[in-house]
Amino acid sequence: MTRQVKRAFRYRFYPTDKQAAELSRTFGCVRLVYNKALEERTRAWYGEQRRISYVQSSAALTEWKKTEELAFLSEVSSVPLQQALRHLQTAFANFFAQRVKYPRFKSKKRSRASAEYTRSGFTFRDGKLTLAKMAAPLDIRWSRPLPEGAVPTTVTVSRDSAGRWFVSMLCDDRVTRAPATTNAVGIDAGITSLVTLSSGEKVTNPRHERRDRARLARAQRELSRKAKGSNNRAKARRRVAEVHARIADRRRDFLHKLSTRLVRENQTVVIEDLTVRNLIKNGKLARGISDAAWGELRSMLEYKCAWYGRELVVIDRWFPSSKLCGACGRVREKLPLNVREWTCDCGAVHDRDVNAARNILTAGLAVSACGDGVRPQRESSRTGRSSVKQEPPRATVGIPRL
């Protein structure tokens, strides 16, 4: 059985000097239009309690192009500029629905440089992609083929802080559901072991950031010694960004392989609803938690389970998975993080992480069977649906005493 999904295919490309200049100009105009429209909306909202629609912002963009000060906006494709206004409209819709915070201005240094083109802003023929305002196609490295007969509906061009250029093509693709199985797995996330499975298997944390920590520190020291505003400082900043990009790429590759394996082997995957944003406030664990990227792993499990017909169960964050004895059901009052193995009053000896993973699995199967206490999966705000976690009651998950 197959199902149709929207899937993004990301490739690296190498623009010519002329194309790079055109894209850089487009990135700047996109950022300018977004910030100027946000400024107008902010003034209207806080000054007059009045909302500005996308249609009004689009009309304002037309007027901006007629002014002498902003006439250069007509020199780039209008499609990315309109898409920037649509993204701002989505951001405000989510804000008024109380799903996210108030939209922020895009910084030239901190924001990712990108531009989105719809079908009217590019041509795709014979495996060659040509953007509006460009005479030649992009020099793309096709690391994997697009689905047979697929035509991109949206193309997003971006440049990361390391100076690498990427193009992401959103296409319709058909995904075959994985063969049904009776296997189920509970996952306990950690730092020493990235994940511990209810089967007793522990997946060692690769610690990508720690492995490149010396290289990163050396690049950051060199950056700190360069004069501000100099070309050498810009080169040093790029070297730091290259180290960060290497770490992020290796981490993402590892998480993709791990999540794909878990989804292929199990019909039901049970995880905890960890609040990473709060956990990283612990100064001693923040670096390790950020390097583990639990949130990214959860996102991968969510969409892959949806694609391949698997069930993802997310149990309450307050469920005492580590302190609960899987044999008798007693809950310890305290269990410090340095205690990795403990003995219950009933005599059962537990490995902290394995016991937690097994308790997570048992609780997940229980709430999955009754349909109560299962946290709904997060949905993309791009579709207009809620992306905010909804808290289930704390007492909905539990394991009965024997």
**Phi and psi dihedrals of 157, rounded to 5?**
-105, 135
Domain boundaries, the chain: 2-176, 184-205+253-370
* Pairwise CA distance, residues 281 & 294, whole Å: 15
Using the CB atoms, write b or e for 203-238: b if 16+ within 10 Å: bebbbbbeebeeebeebeebbeeeeeeeeebeebbe
Q: What is the pLDDT of residue 379?
A: 42
Q: What is the pLDDT of residue 374?
A: 47
**Residue 291 annotated among the catalytic residues of the structure:** no
* Pairwise CA distance, residues 55 & 57, whole Å: 5
Q: Count CB atoms within 10 A of the CB of residue 120.
A: 11
Residues sharing a CB contact under 8 Å with residue 18, sequence separation 6 or more, in sequence order: none
**Residue 188 annotated among the catalytic residues of the structure:** yes
Catalytic residue among 272, 291, 302, 316: 272
| pLDDT per residue of the chain (402 residues) written in tens, 0 to 9 | 788 899 999 999 999 999 999 999 999 999 999 999 999 999 998 888 888 999 999 999 999 999 999 999 999 999 999 999 999 999 999 998 999 999 999 998 877 899 999 999 999 998 899 999 999 999 999 999 998 888 999 999 999 999 999 999 999 999 999 999 999 999 999 999 999 999 999 999 999 999 999 999 999 999 999 999 999 999 999 999 999 999 999 999 999 999 999 999 999 999 999 888 888 888 888 999 899 999 999 999 999 999 999 999 999 888 999 999 988 988 988 888 888 898 998 889 999 999 999 999 999 998 777 665 444 444 433 333 333 333 333 333 333 332
Q: What is the pLDDT of residue 261?
A: 96
Pairing of strands 311-315, 268-272: parallel
Catalytic residue among 209, 291, 302, 353: 353
* Pairwise CA distance, residues 235 & 293, whole Å: 28
Fold designation for 184-205+253-370: Nucleotidyltransferase; domain 5 (3.30.420)
**Residue 272 annotated among the catalytic residues of the structure:** yes
Q: What is the pLDDT of residue 285?
A: 87
* Pairwise CA distance, residues 172 & 154, whole Å: 11
Q: What is the pLDDT of residue 390?
A: 34
Torsion sign, CA atoms 263, 268, 273, 274: negative
**Phi and psi dihedrals of 162, rounded to 5?**
-90, 5
Catalytic residue among 173, 188, 291, 316: 188
